[in-house]
Amino acid sequence: MMIGFAAGGGADTQARLVAQGLEAKYGWKVLPQQVDGNSGLNLVAELVNAPTDGTAIGMVVSESLTYSMMAAGNPDLQIDKFTALATTASFQTGLVAMAEGNFNTWDKVAAAAKAGEQIRFGTASDRQADVAYLFGKAAGIDFNIVPVKGGAGVMNGLRGGDLDIGWVAGAQSKPVTQGEMVNIASAIPAKLKDSPDAPLVTDLGSKYVLDGYFMFVAPGNMDPEARKALGDAIRDVLNDPTTEANGLVTKVFGGPDVITGEALDAKMSEMNTAAATMLKDAESN
């Protein structure tokens, strides 16, 4: 099991707890391996030539197979070269700031920008960076977009004073509920579980959102029986309230959101079309 996230973060822990659950429920031996970086593309570059019998899978996010692949433009690393196995949880992406800082509301961010202050905006992927850029264009703000490594990198930047605001896709749940950080806006097309009063970024002028899924993927042309067996097993682990994997995704990401098979193929096609539209917009601006 390749994991496309930095060790110790919420997504890495989620993958490892799924591995633990698969071993406990099915007796399978699952060997987690970190292959992080480059918005998940390092992982898929290694996975693409792996066996198609179910012995090699990887955990990425849906944008790794859609927006990131499309932006990279490598014909050998496109969505049709992979098999989507199962989503695990949907994003709870927020625009995050320190609760006691100078940018703990959108109004303060907008006022500071209007006064000529540079706003340092942390992003952890190409898609996040482009949404931040397009959001800034719509809001009339020239953000200083700072790429970092994962949601943990954004939060570390906020804590260290190197960033003012940034996108985080769920890992902010604990610091938000503890009062250390605040979601100043929801970057998904719904209210955030931890911050139901936060405005939607679309209400603040953004044309785009940062919805999506954490998910498992395998090489293309996977044996259909192996695909079904793995998808069903991942669903069983995540939907079982007695597993640690279920407990984590419920606490951090609002609960399991498992899609498999043809329904997942249709969802990925939909997200790929949306990614193409946004990438074209970003390139034209």
The 10s digit of each residue's pLDDT in 14-62 is 999 999 999 999 999 999 999 988 888 999 999 999 999 999 999 999 9
Distance CA 141, CA 118 (A): 9
Residue 19 carries which DSSP code?
Answer: H
- One domain for residues 84 and 223: yes
Give the residue from 252, 259, 255 showing the smallest Cα distance to 240. 255
- One domain for residues 55 and 103: no
**Domain boundary residue, one of 148, 174, 204:** 204
- One domain for residues 62 and 115: no
Contacts of 32 (CB under 8 A, 6+ apart): 1, 3, 15, 16, 19
- One domain for residues 105 and 181: yes
- One domain for residues 100 and 196: yes
**Domain boundary residue, one of 180, 204, 228:** 204
**Domain boundary residue, one of 155, 171, 204:** 204
- One domain for residues 194 and 274: no
The 10s digit of each residue's pLDDT in 124-176 is 988 999 999 999 999 999 999 999 988 889 999 999 999 999 999 998 999 99
- One domain for residues 26 and 120: no
Q: What Cα–Cα distance (Å) separates residue 87 from each residue in 83, 178, 239, 271, 279?
A: 12, 28, 12, 13, 23
The 10s digit of each residue's pLDDT in 59-94 is 999 999 999 999 998 988 899 999 999 999 999 999
- One domain for residues 125 and 52: no
Question: Which residue range forms the structural domain that includes residue 31?
Answer: 2-90+212-284
Please state the pTM of the whole predicted model.
0.87
- One domain for residues 163 and 236: no
The structural domain count of the chain equals: 2
| CB 279 within 8 Å of CB 129 | no
Q: Is 136 helix (H, G, I), strand (E, B) or coil?
A: helix
| CB 92 within 8 Å of CB 263 | no
